[in-house]
Amino acid sequence: MKWETQCKHDGAREWTTEWGLVVQAFRFSFTPCKNIDIMWRGARRALSSAPSPCTYEGTPSQRTLLALKPDTVQRGLIGALLSRFEQRGFKVVGLKMLQPSWELAESHYEEHRGKPFYERACTFIASGPLVAAVLEGRGVIGATRTMIGATEPLDCTPGTIRFDYGAHWRRNLVHGSDSETAAAREISLWFRPEELCQWEHCASSWVYELPTARTRFDEEA
């Protein structure tokens, strides 16, 4: 039986990472064909025209400090909470467990010195090991704060970390920087520059909208 080819291209989009990995998504409609090579020639053209490594559009990439407090560690929630931020698409560029000193706790809450809760907050954050992380991504500071929720778990929106896991404002599990200035100060307190790792996430093009190249397939005989 002879076949005739008619490959109708509905859409093609290419994504590329720094390593040159190209992932294609094609949708074709086919009728019986005589020369299937037409389809493959079109696919090769699309792959060869994939764009060079892309930059993110819109909000610049930010970094923020995320501290999983001693209650998170003691309750065995490190993986559950950290995975929320990774699943959101944020990149971990610094991560460590440590027992904070009293001096580090005081420096961390320096802006609250003199307030009624200052000493209690310092005491709690220094009461046991915690996990400190630096997250990177577009709008990560505001997004992290939204994901964490209000200070008082009872006032939080359902789906936030403190609503889902917290019950009391003095045991609210997580700290996240509230501004770019605070993030820069807190990251410098908890991490040395050499402890931060700059790396390219191979899934970035699936998290962010990147510039794309569109290719038309010519119907060729």
Annotated catalytic residues are 175
The answer to whether the CB of 218 falls within 8 A of the CB of 43 is no
Write 31-39 long-range contacts (CB < 8 A, 24+): 31/4, 31/5, 31/6, 32/3, 32/4, 33/3, 33/4, 33/5, 33/6, 33/7, 34/2, 34/3, 34/4, 34/5, 35/5, 35/221, 36/5, 38/5, 38/7, 38/219, 38/220, 39/5, 39/7
Q: 59 - beta bridge partners?
A: none
Residues in the chain: 221
Backbone angles phi, psi at 154, to 5 degrees: -70, -15
